[in-house]
Amino acid sequence: MSANREPGSELRLAVVGAGARSAIARHALGSGAARIVAVVDPGSNARLRAAEAFECDSAFESHGELIAASASGLDVDAAFVTSPDDTHAEIAVALLHAGIAVYLEKPLAIEVADADAILAAAAESGTRLYVGHNMRHMAVVRTMRDIILRGEIGQVKAIWCRHFVGNGGDYYFKDWHADRSRANGLLLQKGAHDIDVIHWLAGGTSELVTGLGGLTLYGGIEDRRDNSDRTMPEWFSLDSWPPLSQTELNPVIDVEDLSMITMRLDNGVLASYQQCHYTPDYWRNYTVIGTAGRLENFGDGDGAVVRVWNRRTLYAEHGDAEYPVRGDEGGHDDADRLTVAEFLAFVRDGIATTTSAVAARNAVATAVAATESIRAGGAPHPVRPVDPSIAARL
Ligand SMILES: NC(=O)c1ccc[n+]([C@@H]2O[C@H](COP(=O)([O-])OP(=O)(O)OC[C@H]3O[C@@H](n4cnc5c(N)ncnc54)[C@H](O)[C@@H]3O)[C@@H](O)[C@H]2O)c1
């Protein structure tokens, strides 16, 4: 549904889930494009802090209250949904049916049925759904994709991604992320980004997966604390090293901290993804091998490079071409800015988008199947395909 705003007038936005990630909404502000008119969070501290930060008068405890207020006069075009993963489906489905366009953070949902319910709600309601797969706007990913599209490595045959989640202890083992009932698993919670990127670079979607993994380090740390009275930046410290010296972990930890999966895509590309939550460094390393060469990134932020090898050689450190990566200063802030700009244009004008709700659903389905494979001792698991009639309507 279009926002039906006059060209040049401000979009009116809500923020649902006022924790660490709600900061992305600040990219919608400035230049008169949009303003935040309401925040929603069941936690009173988060709610009040966000209402003050976004300078808005309306603050609600639940998305139901927001929808009721919108039905009785509060003008809301769209909402950023930045609440925990297990709440995405209920909130997104309700907002879409209420005609409020949605920016939904990844992962779309923690179960495939819930992801499908979100797509169905968008298709049935006609309300615009955008999924925050901001990595598609990261300069390193765009650089790799451009190299592939220019044909510099031929036809893609294999993609290997090693994900060093150096901040894993602080980011994922001190709150709800560590709890299967809230996140399903970190292969989904964190890996949904890279599975989506692998699909995008390969031009295909996983149909079969296998995985091995486990809770190999953090489960042995006995120092635990319920951290629900504070949010992640408050406990983040690069001094928390080595990983076994971590303290105040979440009371429940039953997700894997080490996962290694393989994927067969529907176009024949084979891929692998490895994720470890206790490396000293924090970045992703992709290798893409084609019929006429290969590429690899070194670093994934501003100042990184992507190297291409497409002449036969022995070891050649710098390859045959090197492309600088520019733009992702300060982590993925630049990608966030581009992602939000695209979302606003999508809400306002229904533009074609770089991110895709159907692809986001396929990333969930792949990660869920791979997590099931890990928990079944590595047995191959088929990935449940999307309903083609729903996909065609989005
Ligand atoms: N795209 C990215 O790069 C990126 C980065 C970080 C987080 N995320 C995603 O953002 C989401 C939020 O993550 P976070 O790190 O901010 O978590 P968080 O725990 O810091 O914040 C979540 C907030 O949501 C609130 N909340 C809980 N239940 C709610 C409900 N039913 N309705 C409204 N609010 C509710 C909590 O009280 C909390 O304030 C997750 O889905 C995560 O995957 C995406």
Give the count of beta carbons closer than 10 Å to the beta carbon of residue 248: 15
How far is ligand 1, taken at its centre, from the CA of residue 203, in Å? 30
Which of 22, 41, 339 has most ligand 1 atoms within 8 Å of its beta carbon, as the pocket-test mutant? 41
- CATH superfamily, domain at 11-133: NAD(P)-binding Rossmann-like Domain (3.40.50.720)
| Closest ligand 1 atom, residue 85 Cα | 41
Pairing of strands 206-214, 156-165: unpaired
Q: Out of 21, 95, 114, give the residue to mutate to test ligand 1, the one with the largest number of ligand atoms within 8 Å of its CB.
A: 21
Q: Ligand 1 centroid to 88 CA: how many Å?
A: 9
Which distant-in-sequence residues (6+ apart) come within 8 Å of 314 by Cβ? none
pTM for this entry = 0.97
Which three-class secondary structure string do you get for the chain? CCCCCCCCCCEEEEEECCCHHHHHHHHHCCCCCEEEEEEECCCHHHHHHHHHHCCCCEEECCHHHHHHHHHCCCCCCEEEECCCHHHHHHHHHHHHHCCCEEEEECCCCCCHHHHHHHHHHHHHHCCCEEEECHHHHCHHHHHHHHHHHCCCCCCEEEEEEEEEECCHHHHHCCCHHHCHHHHCCHHHHCHHHHHHHHHHHHCCCEEEEEEEEECCCHHHCCCECCCCCCCHHHCCCCCCCCHHHCCCECCCCCCCCEEEEEEEECCCCEEEEEEECCCCCEEEEEEEEECCEEEEEECCCCCCEEEEECCCCCCCCCCCEEEECCCCCCCCHHHHHHHHHHHHHHHHHCCCCCCCHHHHHHHHHHHHHHHHHHHCCCCCEECCCCCHHHHHCC
Q: How far is the CA of 19 from the centre of ligand 1 (A)?
A: 5
16 Cβ below 6 A of ligand 1: yes
Q: Which atom of ligand 1 is nearest to the CA of 132?
A: 1
Q: With a 6 A CB cut-off, is 40 part of the ligand 1 pocket?
A: yes
Paired residues of 11 in beta bridges = 34
pLDDT of res. 32: 79
Predicted confidence at residue 2, as pLDDT, reads: 42
- Going by alpha carbons, the residue nearest to atom 7 of ligand 1 is 21
Do residues 69 and 38 make contact, with C-beta atoms less than 8 angstroms apart?
yes
Distance from the CA of 106 to the center of ligand 1, in angstroms? Answer: 10
Long-range CB contacts for residues 25-28, cutoff 8 Å, separation at least 24: 25/54, 25/80, 25/82, 25/340, 26/54, 27/336, 27/337, 27/339, 27/340, 27/341, 28/80, 28/340, 28/343, 28/344
User: In angstroms, rounded to a whole number, what is the distance separating the alpha carbons of residues 321 and 185?
Assistant: 38
Domain with CATH 3.40.50.720 in the chain: 11-133
166 lines ligand 1 (CB under 6 A): no
Ranges in the chain annotated CATH 3.30.360.10: 136-336+365-381
Nearest-atom index, ligand 1, CA of 18:
39
Calculate how far, in angstroms, residue 23's C-alpha sits from the geometric centre of ligand 1: 10
The reply to whether ligand 1 has any atom less than 6 angstroms from the CB of 256 is no
Nearest C-alpha to atom 37 of ligand 1 is from which residue?
43
How do the pLDDT tens digits run along the chain, 394 residues long? 345 667 678 999 999 999 999 999 999 997 778 999 999 999 999 999 999 999 998 999 999 999 999 999 999 999 999 999 999 999 999 999 999 999 999 999 999 999 999 999 999 999 999 999 999 999 999 999 999 999 999 999 999 999 999 999 999 999 999 999 999 999 999 999 999 999 999 999 999 999 999 999 999 999 999 999 888 999 999 999 999 999 999 999 999 999 999 999 999 999 999 999 999 999 999 999 999 999 999 999 999 999 999 999 999 999 999 999 987 666 677 899 999 999 999 999 999 999 999 999 999 999 999 999 999 999 999 999 999 999 999 9
Q: What is the CATH number of domain 136-336+365-381?
A: 3.30.360.10
Report the pLDDT value the prediction gives residue 170, as an integer from 0 to 100: 98
- Cα(first)–Cα(last) distance of the chain, in Å? 12
Question: Which ligand 1 atom sits closest to the C-alpha of 46?
Answer: 39
Burial of 17 (0-12, 13-18, 19+ CB in 10 A): buried
Q: Which atom of ligand 1 is nearest to the CA of 176?
A: 19
Cβ contact 192:131 at 8 Å = no
Say yes or no: CB of residue 194 within 6 Å of ligand 1. no
